[in-house]
């Protein structure tokens, strides 16, 4: 029978009958980054708007934040966390405030203007003379026709007005959502939770009235879906798309825009929904009474008449359905509609941070798939048109992918099929695309007539 013995130095000296050696501490210094939770701020009376310092969050983490507003009781403050999106802003108690820091007040609210020449990084490429063929008009993710100085002032004014969230929660039948941003709801709804109907999007602050409205609506046998015409689905995942005319259903569309503003920071809200069509994406299910129901997952809107050929004005995926490919699915549907209209389209700029990610992922995947199947018979513009894409968006995407080259004064796509296959294989989550088999939409009559 074998005995397992420890091979440590202490055990070896014990077997040999020797006294244990004295353990010496190493002289090598170890650098550790530790965050010591300091005591709450002693002089709470000195807190005012613009105070910047360390704040302890609910998860005990420490973040640098700036005080944006104090409530009437002065027992809590509304803070913005520096270097974080405004969706993370929140009310915290005065006990959460720690020591002040040297970050200048207002640093978190400075509006960056990437189009300003002073903020552009210097590089050899930027020092070259601008070539109109290399700068697509109206294309890409950052194009803007607004003077940077004017845009800066407008952004500062908007930021000041919408700094504090004014709705506590959004409640559907199965979901409770925390709003991300301020929205222009009537003042009597401020600082309260809003109960939304799943199908009519009517809202109230009373849970009793919300339940009563839902019961009456189900008893009326009205369709439990958006009030529009189905133009896609149900597909294999029970996804449907409904076209709602802003002129025919103004109340529904206005409530939809108000709901979207709670989760979109830079949405320009207009209560005149008549010039727009709204496309609502839903998930089909069966209710407890055996009747078909549709849960709203997100929507996108488009102008009926767009001089700049925009095929999408606003897009939103509700938070409970995010990270499921819903955003790219709606983008794919917007281009499928453009193909049926025999047009090319592009989203209205500027895009939100999440919108940029979704569009860049979609454009990259579609551009690579077009090049993968390219046989050399079509030009790049004609190739993009087969998917309803604007050629400027495809060019900006190919430049982002490093596939554009300048040859004899012209822009050409230079890519090996192995490189294209490698880039496609590197996409861990391909965008969710619509299935053309389930399209059942006919373009409406030309509104410009």
Which residues are part of the catalytic machinery? 348
Helix (H) or strand (E) holding 332: helix 326-340
- What is the pairing mode between strands 62-70 and 276-286? unpaired
Q: Which residue has the tokens 């149900």?
A: 234
Measured distance CA(30)–CA(159) in Å, rounded: 44
Could you list the beta-strand ranges (E) of 150-275. 169-171, 176-177, 193-196, 203-204, 229-232, 239-245
Could you list the beta-strand ranges (E) of 287-349. 292-303, 310-312, 314-317, 346-347
The two tokens of residue 68 are 């944006």
The two tokens of residue 173 are 């039948």
The two tokens of residue 145 are 């026709």
Cβ neighbours of 419 (radius 10 Å): 15
Measured distance CA(202)–CA(194) in Å, rounded: 10
The two tokens of residue 201 are 């999007």
Between helices 353-372 and 417-425, what is the axis angle to 10°?
A: 140
Strand order in the sheet with 176-177: 176-177, 169-171, 193-196, 203-204
Q: Which residue has the tokens 């074998």?
A: 2
Measured distance CA(181)–CA(280) in Å, rounded: 21
Measured distance CA(31)–CA(62) in Å, rounded: 20
């Amino acid at each position: 029978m074998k005995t397992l013995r420890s091979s440590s130095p202490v055990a070896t000296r014990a077997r040999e009958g020797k006294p244990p050696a004295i353990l010496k501490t190493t002289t090598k210094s170890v650098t550790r980054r530790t965050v010591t939770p300091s005591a709450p701020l002693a002089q709470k009376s000195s807190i005012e708007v613009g105070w910047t310092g360390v704040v302890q969050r609910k998860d005990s983490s420490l973040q640098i934040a700036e005080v944006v507003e104090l409530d009437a009781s002065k027992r809590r403050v509304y803070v913005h966390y520096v270097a974080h999106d405004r969706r993370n802003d929140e009310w915290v108690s005065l006990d959460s405030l720690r020591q002040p820091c040297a970050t200048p007040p207002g640093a978190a609210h400075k509006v960056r203007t990437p189009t300003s020449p002073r903020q552009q990084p210097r590089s050899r490429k930027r020092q070259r003379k601008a070539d109109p063929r290399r700068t697509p008009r109206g294309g890409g993710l950052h194009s803007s026709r607004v003077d940077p100085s004017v845009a800066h002032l407008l952004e500062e004014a908007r930021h000041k007005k919408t700094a504090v969230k004014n709705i506590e929660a959004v409640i559907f039948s199965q979901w409770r959502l925390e709003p991300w941003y301020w929205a222009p709801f009537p003042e009597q709804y401020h600082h309260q939770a809003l109960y939304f109907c799943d199908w009519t999007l009517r809202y109230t602050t009373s849970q009793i009235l919300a339940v009563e409205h839902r019961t009456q609506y189900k008893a009326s046998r009205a369709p439990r879906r958006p009030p529009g015409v189905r133009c896609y689905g149900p597909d294999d995942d029970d996804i449907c798309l409904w076209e709602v005319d802003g002129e025919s259903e103004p109340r529904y569309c206005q409530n939809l825009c108000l709901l979207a503003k709670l989760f979109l920071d830079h949405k320009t809200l207009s209560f005149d929904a008549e010039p727009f069509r709204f496309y609502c994406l839903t998930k089909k299910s069966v209710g407890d009474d055996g009747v078909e129901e549709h849960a709203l997952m997100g929507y996108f809107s488009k102008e009926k008449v767009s001089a700049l050929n925009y095929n999408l004005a606003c897009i939103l995926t509700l938070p409970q359905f995010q990270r499921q490919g819903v955003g790219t699915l709606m983008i794919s549907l917007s281009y499928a509609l453009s193909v049926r209209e025999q047009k090319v389209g592009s989203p209205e700029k500027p895009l939100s941070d999440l919108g940029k990610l979704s569009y860049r992922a979609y454009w990259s995947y579609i551009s690579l798939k077009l090049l993968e199947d390219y046989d050399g018979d079509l030009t790049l513009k004609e190739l993009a048109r087969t998917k309803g894409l604007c050629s400027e968006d495809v060019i900006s995407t190919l430049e982002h992918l490093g596939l554009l080259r300048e040859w004899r004064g012209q822009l050409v796509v230079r890519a090996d099929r192995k490189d294209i296959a490698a880039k496609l294989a590197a996409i861990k989550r391909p965008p969710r695309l619509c299935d053309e088999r389930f399209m059942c939409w006919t373009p409406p009559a030309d509104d410009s007539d």
